[in-house]
Amino acid sequence: MLIDDIEYVIFRHPDLSAVRRFMIDFGLLDLAQHGDALYLRSYGDAPFSYVTQQGEAAFVGMGFRASSQTALNQLAARFSTSIEDCPHPGGGQYVHTVDPDGRRLEFVFGARRLESLPSGGAPIAWNDAHARNRLGRYQRPAYGPSHAQRLGHLAVFSPAPQQLIEWYGENLGMQPSELIHDGNEANVLAAFMHLDKGAEWTDHHTLAIVGAQAAGLDHVSFECRDFDDVGMGHMLMQDKGYKHRWGIGRHFHGSQIFDYWTDPAGFHVEHFTDGDRVNEDTPTQLCPFGRDTLLQWGPPFPGL
Ligand SMILES: [Fe+2]
């Protein structure tokens, strides 16, 4: 096992104060500003979850938590690079490289974890039709931003998805939970890749790779506390007049409840909750592309 989890995304934005306001309303929290780099944290224990630097709008790459010193050494050897002191909040050591599309990948080991923060509200006790779990009390979540617990996954575009799927498999051990094809199973259009954590359960996808004309980013996605946290976050973002992209619905691949917003530079960020978990015994599924690829219920994908 090389990687414990995805931990942060790296952007550049022309207007740091605008993106800071947006991401705070989205559900992240201020952490630090180092020169022209703005660091935001989530409510979980990651040293930080989001960094953006002043500059022309760009998605730069992502950071992972290496699972051990041995894993960090292996990653350094694999990418023929050296281990350096990590310049980000929390410190530790890291190695960095680029994937075949030019995305920066960072692997950090030994960074100080933050204290997790309370994120308001007990888990929902659902009163479904077959099990009444909330008796004599009301479900009244507080109004306010979502509480992003952690960075959950990214979806990237690639002009050569099959090669990129193989690269993440060979170099980082990622495995496809589901492969999407065009009707011919040999023509893979997209993949939902999970981390190699053996018998341990991990997210259905930490990286989604989608074939496209050019390399790029579709979205980055943060896990919220629960269903009400997604819904209440939606209310607040709507009240503040932010640009909504798509949702609220339930995805097919990964089953997450989702809601997408668009930041001031045009990057899409997703709130999700209730995603599937898989492990080494979960078989890879092959699925033809279709309406089901996108969602089980919810509004149609914009433009389709
Ligand atoms: Fe997503």
All domains of the chain in start order, with CATH: 3-113+148-294 (3.10.180.10)
**How far is the centre of ligand 1, averaged over its atoms, from the C-alpha of 153 (Å)?**
6
Give the chain's largest Cα–Cα span: 62
**How far is the centre of ligand 1, averaged over its atoms, from the C-alpha of 70 (Å)?**
31
**CA torsion through residues 177, 182, 184, 187, sign:** negative
**Smallest Cα–Cα separation from 25: which of 142, 141, 145?**
145
Q: Which amino acid is residue 2, in one-letter code?
A: L
Q: What's the distance, CA 193 to chain centroid?
A: 12
What is the pLDDT, as a whole number, of residue 292?
Answer: 73
What is the pLDDT, as a whole number, of residue 121?
Answer: 79
What is the pLDDT, as a whole number, of residue 293?
Answer: 80
**How far is the centre of ligand 1, averaged over its atoms, from the C-alpha of 181 (Å)?**
18
* 183/11 Cα distance (integer angstroms): 35
Cβ atoms of 88 and 111 closer than 8 Å: yes
Contact residues for 51 (Cβ-Cβ < 8 A; gap 6+)? 8, 9, 10, 11, 37, 38, 39, 40, 88
**How far is the centre of ligand 1, averaged over its atoms, from the C-alpha of 100 (Å)?**
22
**How far is the centre of ligand 1, averaged over its atoms, from the C-alpha of 73 (Å)?**
31
**How far is the centre of ligand 1, averaged over its atoms, from the C-alpha of 164 (Å)?**
18
**How far is the centre of ligand 1, averaged over its atoms, from the C-alpha of 54 (Å)?**
26
Cβ atoms of 209 and 193 closer than 8 Å: yes
What is the pLDDT, as a whole number, of residue 303?
Answer: 76
**How far is the centre of ligand 1, averaged over its atoms, from the C-alpha of 253 (Å)?**
9
Please report, in tens digits, the pLDDT of each residue of the chain (304 residues total): 999 999 999 999 999 999 999 999 999 999 999 999 999 999 999 999 999 999 999 999 999 999 999 999 999 999 999 999 999 999 999 999 999 999 999 999 999 999 999 998 778 999 999 999 999 999 999 999 999 999 999 999 999 999 999 999 999 999 999 999 999 999 999 999 999 999 999 999 999 999 999 999 999 999 999 999 999 999 999 999 999 999 999 999 999 999 999 999 999 999 999 999 999 999 999 999 987 788 999 999 987 6
**How far is the centre of ligand 1, averaged over its atoms, from the C-alpha of 120 (Å)?**
24
What is the pLDDT, as a whole number, of residue 120?
Answer: 83
- Report residue 40: phi and psi, to 5°: -120, 150
Q: Which two tokens stand for residue 110?
A: 């030994």
**How far is the centre of ligand 1, averaged over its atoms, from the C-alpha of 235 (Å)?**
20
What is the pLDDT, as a whole number, of residue 240?
Answer: 98
What is the pLDDT, as a whole number, of residue 304?
Answer: 65
Beta strand residue intervals within the chain, DSSP E? 3-13, 29-34, 37-41, 50-54, 58-66, 84-85, 93-98, 104-109, 150-158, 175-181, 188-194, 202-203, 207-211, 216-223, 243-250, 257-262, 268-273, 277-278, 285-288
Point out which residues pair with 50 in neighbouring strands: 9, 40
